[in-house]
Homo-oligomer: A and B are copies of this chain.
Amino acid sequence: MNLGVEKYIPHLSLDCVVFGFENNELKVLISKFKFGEELWNFPGGYIGWEESIEEAAQRVLQNRTSLKNIYLEQFRVFGQKDRILNSPHRDFIRAKLIEQYNESDANWMMGRFVCVGFYALVDIAKVHPKVGKMDLKLEWRSLNDLPEMVHDHREILNYAIEAVRQDMNEKSLAKNLLPEHFTMKELMELYEAVFDKKFSMNNFQKKMLEQGKLERLEKKYTGASNKAPYLYRFLP
Cα-based distance from A26 to B47 in the complex (angstroms): 36
- A9 cross-chain contacts in B, Cβ below 8 A: 11, 112, 114
- Main secondary structure, interface of A, reads mixed
The answer to whether the Cβ of A10 comes within 8 Å of any Cβ in the partner chain is yes
Question: Which chain B residue lies CB-closest to A9?
Answer: B11
Whether the pair B81, A51 counts as a contact (CB closer than 8 A) is yes
Could you say which residues of chain B place their CB within 8 Å of the CB of A50? 81
Other-chain residue from B10, B51, B116 in contact with A77 (beta carbon distance below 8 A) = B116
A112 adjacent to B52 (CB under 8 Å): no
The reply on A7 being an interface residue by CB < 8 A is no
Residue A74 is within 8 A (CB to CB) of chain B in the complex? yes
Please give the residue numbers on chain A whose beta carbons come within 8 Å of chain B beta carbons, in ascending order.
9-12, 47, 49-54, 56, 74, 76-77, 79-81, 112, 114, 116, 166, 170
A-B contact pairs, 26 of them (CB 8 A): A9-B11, A9-B112, A10-B10, A10-B11, A12-B12, A12-B114, A47-B79, A49-B81, A49-B112, A50-B81, A51-B81, A52-B79, A52-B80, A52-B81, A53-B77, A53-B79, A53-B114, A54-B79, A56-B79, A74-B76, A74-B77, A77-B77, A79-B116, A114-B116, A166-B166, A166-B170
